[in-house]
Structure 1
Amino acid sequence: MRLLPVKSLQPGMRLAKKIYNEEGLILLSDEVELTASLIKRLSSLGIDFVYISDPRTADIQIPALISEETERMAMQELQSSFLKISSHSLKGLVYPYLGKTFLNVVETIMKDLGSREDVMIMLGNIHSTDQTLFRHSLNVCIYTLMLGKAFGYSHQELTVLGLGAILHDIGKTKIDPSILHKPERLSSVEFEVMKQHAEIGYKLLKDEPGIPLQAAHCAYQHHERIDGSGYPRGLKGNDIHDYAQWISIADSYDAMTSQRVYNQALLPHQAVEILYAGCGTLYEKQKLEIFRDHVAIYPLGMTVVLNTGEIGVVSKIHPFAPQRPVVRVLHCPNRGELQEPYEIDLLKQLNIVITSINESASPQLEQV
């Protein structure tokens, strides 16, 4: 399979990966043959990229970070718990089920991640419509656990980190839905209301049985930045808990690479570049370096242009050098489209580099 922009799709192509709506339900199944009306529909939903089938890249598969069963269970628990909390008054209520419920969710995710070697942060939402609070919470939990594992945290530390990550935005359950789900950018007044979710989340979690106080502080501090420019308290440097700093990186990355009604999703290399612009000011350098080394900045199946003029797709990612993938060349300047592609390992051929992402590529695919 390969990743293509929706604007380059042609009738007769087939989807290679399911398209999900904002509730996590299947909108279009894999192997669906695209028609002009379906392509137009994808564009109207704000989906910019999809995975499509190509005989020359049939062996390129996108690994799931967690199993479908784990993902479905986590999404159901998030939706059920968050909707229940949103329907109650903030004062005088406790939610004793939260600790037990999400401890089980986090443990299951950790088990899935632990069963895979050299796991990389892949694109999770490029083929989904506008993202929900539930999907975002799950993604941030997965990404944060991967980073914490790479950093070397113990199982117990990862459990607390995972709880803080999956519940970091729980305060948004108490934000006015007209603001939370507004289909365009918030006004300055509305943004001030939205910012309250950090403190609300802390108040929801701090006295809950089974929820460590550190996890509550993750909800409180995940929008703080090490130079003091964050909110709600303007904390600086070491005053921000390490767990919250990890979550802030995962939270920002997932927000930038996810679909929004009012904002096009960025590709991983673009999001990483923006994060690195805040190195040493917004985010700690060591944490960003670990993140950089564990994110697939050129995802499998992405079309790239090399400095040689060759155009191909990423067919393999080196776990410890994701910026130097293996590229399967499908188009040569002198030979045009290749029916028998060849591969270039950028980790071995250091004189060849990726110069751009060929977002407008319109390959000659076998029509079915």
Structure 2
Amino acid sequence: MGHEKSMRLISLNVLKEGMVVGRTIWNEAGHPLLQKGVEVSDHIINRLKQLNIHYIYIEDKIAEGIEIEETISHQVRTRTVHNITKSFNAVKKAEPTQASYVLDQQSKVIGGIIEGLLDSILESEEILTVLTDAYLYDEYLYHHSFQVTLYSIAIAKEMGYAYEDLRLIGIGAMLHDVGKLLIPTEILLKPGRLTTEEYDLMKQHAKFGFDLLRNLHSISLLVAHCAFQHHERLDGSGYPRGLVDFEIHPFAKIIGVADVFDAVTSNRVYREKLLPSQGIAIIEAGSGTIYSEKVVEALKRSIIHYPNGTVLLLSDGRRGIVSKQNNSQPECPLVRIFEVENVLLDATYEINLADHPALRIDKIETEYVAYVE
């Protein structure tokens, strides 16, 4: 069954009729929107563009045998987002005075969700796979809350936190944006730039979240502080209170980084999403000034930088496709070399970038097309 496992990640810009889908794309209900093995037509290409999808896996013989490992199974992801949606919708529908009460009732569900995710993450030695284009969700907020929880737990696990702290960080991450349920939908989902007034109201979500959470019996006050502080930055440039380094709770520093990482690597209406390594680079640029250095380093160690099936151009003119991950050094995957100076090799071979410190990755080539057919 070799051909089931031959996935190359490409940009929608170079997707052509006749290519074959390498990995199923799912909708928010957990149903396949586009099945693996389907031949691509112009109609499919236009539909994917409408859906704001940027990358897709296709079958390709240079990717023979390359698989995508999901840290969290598709079933767990669908079930979790479904449960978050139910909990959040209950809060959203409640009268403003009742919202905290409803959230208190939902807290058992939320605690259960976190414990389930913790089990999945703690039993896996793998680093996190971060390619959200295989999933389409109507509600950005619910999917975002799920992703940020995943990244926060992975970072905190890497930093050596014990189970009870991981559980609290997970709940804090899950509820970090709960205040957005009190922001008018037209501002939340506005496709263009927000006006200054709208942005000021949007920034209130951190305070709204704190107010919703701080009096709950069933949820630690720490969780409320995660919601309050996830937009605070070390140098005092954050909001809503302009706190500085030592005033920000360590959990909020973790969730703050996870939040930005998910925002830049996810599909948003108003800008291109970035690949994981590009998202990491953006966060690294703020390491030690706006983000905690320890947290940034832990992020870099706990997630995949270059997903399997990604074509890379190396600094010595060789071109290869990421075939496996190097869990101890996520920034140095194993690469199957298939081309040298634009000439396809008769026989491919694999190198481990960790063994070649002088080699740099010059370019991620999601638009790679072979020079000779």
Whether the 8 Å CA contact 1:99–1:208 is kept in 2: the answer is: no
- AA of the residue aligned to 2:25: I
Output the CA distance in 2 between the equivalents of 1:339 and 1:32: 28
- Gapped regions of structure 2 (runs ≥ 5): 1-6
Shift in Å at residue 26 of structure 1?
Answer: 3.3
Query: Which of 349, 362, 367 pairs up with 1:360?
Result: 367
Query: Which of 35, 55, 79 pairs up with 1:49?
Result: 55
Shift in Å at residue 286 of structure 1?
Answer: 1.5
Output the CA distance in 2 between the equivalents of 1:88 and 1:365: 61
- AA of the residue aligned to 1:221: Q
The reply on whether 1:120 has 2:131 as its aligned counterpart is no
Alignment of 1:1-368 (within 5 A): 1-21=7-27, 25-93=31-99, 94-95=101-102, 96-117=104-125, 119-129=126-136, 132-333=140-341, 336-338=343-345, 340-363=347-370
Output the CA distance in 2 between the equivalents of 1:238 and 1:257: 28
Output the CA distance in 2 between the equivalents of 1:256 and 1:126: 13
Whether the 8 Å CA contact 1:56–1:339 is kept in 2: the answer is: no
TM-score by length of 2: 0.92
TM-score by length of 1: 0.93
Output the CA distance in 2 between the equivalents of 1:349 and 1:92: 59
Structure 1 pair 339/207, CA: closer, same or farther in 2 (3 Å)?
farther
Whether the 8 Å CA contact 1:311–1:330 is kept in 2: the answer is: yes
Shift in Å at residue 23 of structure 1?
Answer: 6.5
Shift in Å at residue 268 of structure 1?
Answer: 1.5
Output the CA distance in 2 between the equivalents of 1:25 and 1:253: 27
Shift in Å at residue 339 of structure 1?
Answer: 5.5
Whether the 8 Å CA contact 1:314–1:325 is kept in 2: the answer is: yes
Question: Aligned residues: percent identity?
Answer: 36
Q: Residue 331 of structure 1: SS of its match in structure 2?
A: strand
What is the aligned length?
364
Output the CA distance in 1 between the equivalents of 2:135 and 2:346: 31
Shift in Å at residue 365 of structure 1?
Answer: 11
Whether the 8 Å CA contact 1:326–1:344 is kept in 2: the answer is: yes
Structure 1 pair 10/183, CA: closer, same or farther in 2 (3 Å)?
same
Provide, for residues 186-220 of structure 1, a one-character-per-residue CA deviation record: whole Å limited to 9, x for no partner: 12211111111111111111122321111111111
Output the CA distance in 2 between the equivalents of 1:55 and 1:16: 11
Output the CA distance in 2 between the equivalents of 1:116 and 1:32: 31
Shift in Å at residue 43 of structure 1?
Answer: 2.2
Q: Residue 141 of structure 1: SS of its match in structure 2?
A: helix
Q: Quote the RMSD (CA, aligned, Å).
A: 2.0
Structure 1 pair 45/73, CA: closer, same or farther in 2 (3 Å)?
closer
Shift in Å at residue 22 of structure 1?
Answer: 6.2
Shift in Å at residue 302 of structure 1?
Answer: 0.9
Output the CA distance in 1 between the equivalents of 2:302 and 2:347: 31
- AA of the residue aligned to 1:176: P
Q: Residue 132 of structure 2: SS of its match in structure 1?
A: coil
Shift in Å at residue 170 of structure 1?
Answer: 0.8
Shift in Å at residue 318 of structure 1?
Answer: 1.2
Structure 1 pair 58/238, CA: closer, same or farther in 2 (3 Å)?
same
Q: Residue 182 of structure 1: SS of its match in structure 2?
A: coil
Output the CA distance in 2 between the equivalents of 1:54 and 1:180: 39
Provide, for residues 239-271 of structure 1, a one-character-per-residue CA deviation record: whole Å limited to 9, x for no partner: 111111000000000000000111110111211
- Gapped regions of structure 1 (runs ≥ 5): none
Q: Residue 57 of structure 1: SS of its match in structure 2?
A: strand
Output the CA distance in 2 between the equivalents of 1:139 and 1:169: 12
Q: Residue 234 of structure 2: SS of its match in structure 1?
A: coil
Q: Residue 335 of structure 2: SS of its match in structure 1?
A: strand
85-94 or 301-310: which moved more? 85-94
Structure 1 pair 133/287, CA: closer, same or farther in 2 (3 Å)?
same
Provide, for residues 52-97 of structure 1, a one-character-per-residue CA deviation record: whole Å limited to 9, x for no partner: 1123323221111212332222111111111121122222440232
